Structure 1
Amino acid sequence: MADLQKALPTLLTTKPNLILLDQDLGDSTNGLEFCTQLKKLSLFRQTPVLILAESHSFLERVKGRLTGATDFVVKTNNPETLLKALQKYVR
């Protein structure tokens, strides 16, 4: 989880109200694994985590819920779709 170790200091400093992760982070991890690690930290247990995915099958949604992901957002070229998803979880 080298990617998490690199990102963690920034996340701890900024304490975001929402975390948006790509399902495919490349290298050695993916968004769901990253989410699992984040949700182990008490600071992020209540933080909404949205996973950007190419698609979201029922199986992917179940996996996501098990990792602590709040919701899935299908990747799109329409910024309105992403904005609506973000507004749903940020006040």
Structure 2
Amino acid sequence: MTMTTQPTVLKIMVIDDSSTIRRSAEIFLTQAGYQVVLADDGFDALAKINDHHPSLVFCDILMPRLDGYQTCALIKKSAKFHTTPVVMLSSKDGLFDRARGAMVGSSAYLTKPFSKDSLLAAVREHTAEAMSK
């Protein structure tokens, strides 16, 4: 029996104050073979990001305490995580939200409710460079 080396499992963080969104993202990502780290707001995410070193972060915009823009800006200002792609999640599909997300350093914008396909496409698109390192 030959031992095959397992490909590195990508770790993906999902930050959303809605347990429904967190749960559906977790199901889609786990089924696709990713490891998932969940956080229910920006503070929770910032506490967990150091321990888990996710390859990609999905971040809701409208959250209590620390909103998605502030959370994304803090991740991008961090010396350790400034290259980690952050995809903003929002139920609003406005130009202003997209522009503001881009200003704080987000890589992309996904409108909720997202489909399994759009979520996984975003993962593939934004983790390709992480896989090639």
Q: Which residue of 1 aligns with 2:9?
A: none
TM-score using structure 2 length: 0.59
Gap regions ≥5 residues in structure 1: none
**TM-aligned CA deviation for residue 5 of structure 1:** 4.3
- Whose RCO is larger (CA < 8 A, sep 6+)? 1
Choose which of 60, 67, 82 in structure 2 pairs with 1:30. Answer: 67
Aligned residues: 88
SS at match of 1:62: helix
Gap regions ≥5 residues in structure 2: 1-40, 129-133
**TM-aligned CA deviation for residue 12 of structure 1:** 0.8
Structure ID, larger Rg: 2
Larger proportion of helix: 1
TM-score using structure 1 length: 0.83
Choose which of 29, 49, 55 in structure 2 pairs with 1:17. Answer: 55
Is 2:128 the counterpart of 1:87? Answer: no
Q: Which residue of 2 aligns with 1:63?
A: 100
Instruction: Letter of the 2:98 partner, please give it.
Output: R
**TM-aligned CA deviation for residue 29 of structure 1:** 2.1
